[in-house]
Each structure stands twice: as structure tokens, then as C-alpha cells.
Amino acid sequence: MQLQANYHTHTVRCGHAEGADRDYVEMALARGLKVLGFSDHVPMPFPDGHESRFRVPLAQLEDYVKSVLALRDEYKSEIRILLGFEAEYYPDLFDAMRELLSAYPVDYLILGQHFNDSREQIYNTREQTDPAALHTYVDRVLSAMETGAFTYVAHPDLIHFTGAEALYTREMTRLIGGARERDIPLEINLLGIREKRNYPDARFWQLAGQLRASTVLGCDAHRPKDLADPENIREGLAWARRFGLTVEDRADLVKETP
């Protein structure tokens, strides 16, 4: 299978990626992508003026949008380029975030629940055994799905829970079941495979296979060379086959609306 579309692409503006926006487009073309979605970490309108260290700063939002739209126009005969964002669901900031984005022609959002709340104090990849943290994580993901604003869930198994296995199984069954009910794909994250992170988590994907979850691959590209890397894709597809998952080559976009 050749990857046709990638919706999980970052830019240098988030502070932990590298390369010019154009370089991502050129790499996408070289590796046969038909659709390239830019989805850098969404600016959050924190009421106290706080700026996350891993997001596009509010001051660079206009530049991000203009750059993606200019590339979309320039390369329109060669590849479909989309303007998106990766966003958390924070109940207290969600409406404000959507209002901020309503001024722009956003094509889609993907959900990446890196933190459980807007204080952003405990990163969800930190090893933890607290049942409340796992329960809240799943609640946040399910609530995000219910908004109807997200095209898919990026690295749904990001939370690094090492507590009771029965609890993990129960909570993740709840998450996967919610995604199935709403026909929202779950992403096998290729960055996690590349960097041997705590995700993809075999426990999660075994459940996803049993529940026949809709699945996509996401490059989670932070460098141009991360886009549609053939070996990385082979590893992702092997992961899917291991658990009997069928990988969709494209996702149906959910258009973000205020």
C-alpha cells in the first residue's frame, strides 16, 4: 500500500519541528502523496496570556495560514494541500479556540490530547498509574468526538498508563467504542514507531482490532523526511496487520465550523 494522504504535519512554528513549509510539499510530491494536510499545534487563547511552548504562537497564526494557502494555490495542479490544526479538547477553552479559528478557512482539526486540561501540567506521555488521569483522558477524547469538530484522533493511545490492566482495558474499550459509534478514525502514529515511544501501545491496538475500529496512518511529520517514509509506512502497516486492522488510505474531512 502506498500512502495517499497524510493529515498530520507540523511546521517550524511549533518550536520542535524543522524545515521550510515548501520542503514538506516537495517531499510529499517526491513520495507520491496525493493529499498533504498541515496540522500544526493550534494556538490556544489562554485568558491569562500564557503561551504553550509547543504550539504555533498566536503572533504567528496569520503567517501559518498565509503560507499554507499560498502553497495550496501554487501546487494546486500537483497535490491537494489542506489547512488544519492538531488541537486538544479543553472544555474551558474550546469555544474560544473555535472562535479564534472561525476567521480562517480551516479544512479540518485532528484531536491530539497531550494534556487533560488547560493548566497543561502533566503531559500524558509521562508514566502514570492514577486511575483518575486515565478516566479523564478518555472522557476528554469522547467529549471531543461529541463536538463533531474533529476528523480523527491522533495517537489515541498516547497516555502512558502503567496501572491496573483491567482498568486500562475498560477505559480504552470505552474510547474505541465511542470512536466506532461516531465513525471517527483512530491514528496509528508513525512518529511513535520512528522514535520508539510508549505509543503505539499493543494493548490498545489489540482492542481496536477486536472492535474493528476505523484506522489511518499519520506521519506526525516534524521534518520533511518524515513524510511518507517508505520504511516507516511498512512498519505502520505491519503494526496494523498484527492486530487485524484495515488501514484507510484517506479520511473524510470534518469541516471545522464556529
CATH number for the segment(s) 5-242: 3.20.20.140
pLDDT at 131: 98
pLDDT at 256: 56
pLDDT at 166: 98
Is this prediction's pTM over 0.95?
yes
**Which of helix, strand or coil describes residue 219?**
coil
Q: What is the rounded average pLDDT of the residues 68-79?
A: 98
Decide if pLDDT at 241 tops 50: yes
Give the side-chain half-sphere CA count within 13 A for 255.
3
Confidence tier at 258 by pLDDT (50, 70, 90):
very low
C-alpha cell at 171: 477505559
Question: What are the distances in angstroms from CA 58 to CA 62, 103, 160, 169, 194?
Answer: 8, 13, 29, 38, 30
